[in-house]
Amino acid sequence: MKGSEILIKALEAEGVDTIFGYPGGAIMPVYDALYDSQLKHILVRHEQSAALAADAYSRVTGKVGVCLSTSGPGATNLVTGIANAFLDSVPMVAITGQVGSALIGTDAFQEVDIFGISMPVVKHSFLVRRVEDLAETVARAFKIARSGRPGPVLIDLPKDVSIADLQNPKFEGNQIEAMPRPEAKQLAMARSMIQESRKPLVYAGGGIRIAGATEELIAFVEATGIPCVTTLHGIGAIPAQHELAMGMLGMHGTKHANMAVQECDLLIAVGARFDDRVTGKLAEFAPHAKVVHMDGDQFEISKLRSADCGIVGDIKVSLNFLHAKPQIEEWVATCMERKRQYAFTYDAPGDTVYAPGFIKELSDRAGDNTFITCDVGQHQMWVAQHYSFNLPNHHLTSGGLGTMGFGLPAAIGAQLAYPDARVVTMSGDGSFMMNIQELATVKRYNLPIKIVLFDNQALGMVRQWQELFFEKRYSEVDLSDNPDFAKVAEAFGIPAFRVEKREEVGPAIDRILSEDGPLLAHVFIDQAANVWPLVPPGKNNSEMLEATTV
């Protein structure tokens, strides 16, 4: 059996059904083997999209995403997508073709040291030197990608290895490893800390999705009656409409969430990592709180904020054990009162489209089986604030790397995983241009993805920062010469229409919800609309700027 066939068989042994890639010289033997294989290969139009689509495929299915490229430029194009998976803890195996072993290190045609280039953004990497090692390397790569804190693993495959022959290769496949059980002593301590607290708060992060612990989180919140704030990646861990859900905390968090954090006496961090977007000035974050920190990754505990009680291991087991009954009526009433007082409103003046209102209406009408992907910028924060998610894997956002261009390839990955689900990507006029070529992929596979393109003729988020923190010196953020995106989409064979006035929003959403195939809505919004509230960089979370204060 040839190395390339061994690779395909080893992927199949891991339960892989779909891979995303782009061919080229050094990976040609693998593409030749794909020709006869059952694996579904999705041809994207830029390798970055292969990695981003594989990332999204993994986020929605919980499986390991797989992407494939050739050596040299193919491999370097993958890097942003690999880094995206690394920073958002998404399990992925990226396979790159490499020049023949004898040519490695000679600056051969399309040779780059992708092993070295990718080193800081992978969990681990392999250069396969012998065909005998290939099947086992693939199995190890999958195991590493999904164990502990998940992440991407690179396999660099020299061409001579993929054409080499091997008799009777062995394929083992992997069992998914169980998370270690948390320590009883730590659990008991956490339980009594919760019992004694008077102002406790749950701070839920992306670790809930990774651990598949949404049910346990909701049960814990309901049993204890403790209000819950979420990070960007924690959104959906508790349904947005749940009475104890307080919305997102941090830089663009809700006022009531951030006030609760700053006042609580016990912060119960669950699968969250005290990221700087969340904490603002770390030394002043939750200043009165003791911290219980639960995480599957032992290295996260006390990394940035020292935990009074760290619990390593299966979050589900921990949450189930911690059903204490603290006396917190007064605190909960305060939180709920503020939640009412500071709820978002959608009555912005004017007749231009108000993006938060658009998102809210779509959310109210789209139904549960809907995946939303987004790009990076103001529109991304509006999605986080105004779309009501009921499950964490229905919100696909590039949180760690903040990769403009994530939205469309992510929608492709999600739609291929769930062909019958509704998939909507919400993008910005800047971000959309970063992977606009994937309209061809949408068309080729006839994916019924709905694209909502919020066009403020600007790199809006950068513009907002220039307005607020750089004395309105708007440097290189103008996009008033945008192309006609509807015509662009039509050129790719995708129907499209313009939405210019607020009164057109309802009919636009009708169309988005009723049309069968792909569709692009080019939505014009006011450049001056900003994201509120905002905690300025380096400030603490009680120093929020609001629309009315600037």
Partner 1 sequence: MRFTLDVTMANTEGALERILGRLRQRSFNVCALNAGLSANMARMDVRVTLESARPIELAIKQLAKLIDVEGVEIIKAEEHHHHESKLRHPHNHTHGHHQDHRQHAPFEHRQPAFDLSPSQIGL
CB 231 within 8 A of CB 248: yes
| 86 part of the active site | no
Nearest distance in Å: CB 288, partner 1: 14
379 binds, among Mg ion, ligand TPP, partner 1, none (CB under 5 to 8 A by kind): ligand TPP
Spatial distance between the Cα atoms of 51 and 94, rounded to a whole number of angstroms: 7
Element (H, E) at 81: helix 73-87
User: Could you say which of 459, 486, 488, 529 contacts ligand TPP (CB under 6 A)?
Assistant: 459
Verify binding: residue 460, Mg ion, rule CB under 5 A.
yes
φ/ψ region of 299 (left if φ > 0, alpha if ψ in -120 to 50, else beta) reads alpha
Verify binding: residue 429, Mg ion, rule CB under 5 A.
yes
Q: Which of 5, 14, 20, 47 is catalytic?
A: 47
The label of the residue with tokens 């004898």 reads: 102
Spatial distance between the Cα atoms of 453 and 463, rounded to a whole number of angstroms: 18
Nearest distance in Å: CB 479, Mg ion: 6
Interacting positions 302-341 with partner 1 (CB under 8 A)? 302-306, 310
Residue placing its CB nearer to ligand TPP in the complex, 311 or 434: 434
Number of neighbours of residue 333 by Cβ within 10 angstroms = 10
Verify binding: residue 295, Mg ion, rule CB under 5 A.
no
Q: Could you tell me where the DSSP H helices lie in 264-305?
A: 276-279
Q: Which stretch binds Mg ion (CB under 5 A): 229-237, 244-252, 263-271, 430-438?
A: 430-438
| 406 part of the active site | no
CA 372 distance to own-chain centroid: 11
Residue placing its CB nearer to Mg ion in the complex, 197 or 530: 530
Q: Which of 461, 464, 466, 544 is catalytic?
A: 461
Residue placing its CB nearer to ligand TPP in the complex, 280 or 399: 399
Verify binding: residue 225, partner 1, rule CB under 8 A.
no
Verify binding: residue 2, ligand TPP, rule CB under 6 A.
no
Half-sphere exposure of 543 (CA within 13 A, CB side): 10
Structure tokens at 132: 């005998």
CA angle 179, 185, 188 (to 5 degrees): 100
User: Could you say which of 350, 506, 507, 538 contacts partner 1 (CB under 8 A)?
Assistant: 538
| 544 part of the active site | no
**Total residues in contact with ligand TPP, by rule CB under 6 A:** 19
| 47 part of the active site | yes
- DSSP secondary structure string for all residues of 93-105: EEEEEE--GGGTT
Q: Which stretch binds ligand TPP (CB under 6 A): 57-65, 281-289, 357-365, 460-468?
A: 460-468
| 281 part of the active site | no
Classify each residue of 175-198 as buried b or exposed e, where b means 16 or more C-beta atoms within 10 Å of its C-beta.
eeeebeebeeebbebbbebbeebe
Verify binding: residue 115, partner 1, rule CB under 8 A.
yes
Report cis status (omega within 30 of 0) of the bond before 356: no
* 3-state SS class at 147: coil
The contact pattern for ligand TPP, residues 394-433, with x = CB under 6 A and - = no contact, is --------xxx-----------------------xxxx--
Q: Count Cβ atoms within 10 A of the Cβ of residue 154 and give its class: 0-12 exposed, 13-18 middle, 19 or more buried.
A: buried
Residue placing its CB nearer to partner 1 in the complex, 505 or 535: 535
User: Could you say which of 187, 268, 458, 486 contacts ligand TPP (CB under 6 A)?
Assistant: 458
What residue type is 21 in one-letter code? G
Q: Which of 159, 199, 316, 360 is catalytic?
A: 159
Element (H, E) at 350: none
Nearest distance in Å: CB 215, partner 1: 26
Residue placing its CB nearer to partner 1 in the complex, 148 or 493: 148
Verify binding: residue 537, partner 1, rule CB under 8 A.
yes
CA 238 distance to own-chain centroid: 17
Spatial distance between the Cα atoms of 197 and 265, rounded to a whole number of angstroms: 7
Residues lying near ligand TPP in the complex (CB under 6 A) are found at: 375-379, 402-404, 428-431, 454, 456, 458-462
Task: Give the residue numbers annotated as catalytic, written as ranges.
Answer: 47, 109-110, 159, 461
